[in-house]
Amino acid sequence: MLTLSLIAAPSVANLESALIDSLRRSWGGSDMRWLNPGIAAEFQMPAVPGDLDQVAGDLQTIGIDLAVQPTHARRKRVLLADMDSTMIGQECIDELAAMAGVGDRVAAITARAMNGELNFHEALIERVGLLAGLRETVIQDVLDSRITLTPGGPELVATMRAHGGYAALVSGGFTAFTGAVAAALGFNEHRANTLLADDGVLTGHVALPVLGREAKVEALHQITAARGLVPADVIAVGDGANDLGMLAEAGTGVALHAKPVVAAQAQIRINHGDLTALLYLQGYSAAEFVSPAR
């Protein structure tokens, strides 16, 4: 049995019963279940319909995401999440670069690397090199004034952990940022690259080896094996090309507001919903969401 999920942007909440009923009748679905009226609903159906892709494309034009997945074992035991442009709304290296006066140059490299046009390792080394001479204190300034949490992130982490899940933040960014973001959101652990500094000034170098695509896949296997779990027990979320490996190996891989190359290859694409979409995909209703501890 399969479960079809329909998810709208919370700010718009334009998901209507008539639309859901039409799809349910056309595809031989079960009774509809609201997870959050106007925002998320689901029903079960026996097989993937032949016109699924066309319907999904049509729904995108009105701001509604559609996903189909096996009903069995939808609730996952591990959350594996990218940080930049996923759990936060920014790319940290771009924000540091803006403070160093090389923002446009670095942002252009970042965009190409995240869309898979450049080797991630080489692109990171090049961008970090442009930060040489920046004082370490700027990192805290960026955290305080430029970094925002993606809507739904606190509820996602808190709800999964309240139901026995383990949450890991795995980033191609920097530990100076993942440490703060992981603490703010309640992640169990974080992994990222380390910016090197000398006497309080960034050297323009990063500790090796660089954490990129393969390291994220390795983290997935290490974290699950340590808990007697398997990749099928993971829901992973990311937006860039270096996330494709972990998205492919996870039981549920979600491309969130992702770059085109990622959206084209991901199991599930969320283009309109926020991070609470990952809870709806697992069958959680809004009434089951856990508010993060303050």
Q: Does residue 104 carry a catalytic annotation?
A: no
CA distance 254 to 265: 10
Query: CA-CA distances (angstroms) from residue 54 to 2, 173, 255?
Result: 18, 36, 19
Handedness of CA 16, 18, 19, 25 (dihedral sign): positive
The three-point CA angle 8-10-14 to 5° equals 50
Between 153-162 and 175-185, two packed helices, what is the crossing angle to 10 degrees? Answer: 70
CA distance 103 to 217: 30
Q: Does residue 84 carry a catalytic annotation?
A: yes
Catalytic residue, chosen from 82, 94, 239, 274, is 82
Catalytic residue, chosen from 84, 94, 233, 239, is 84
Are the beta carbons of 116 and 162 closer than 8 angstroms?
Answer: no
CA distance 235 to 74: 9
**Residues designated as active site:** 82, 84
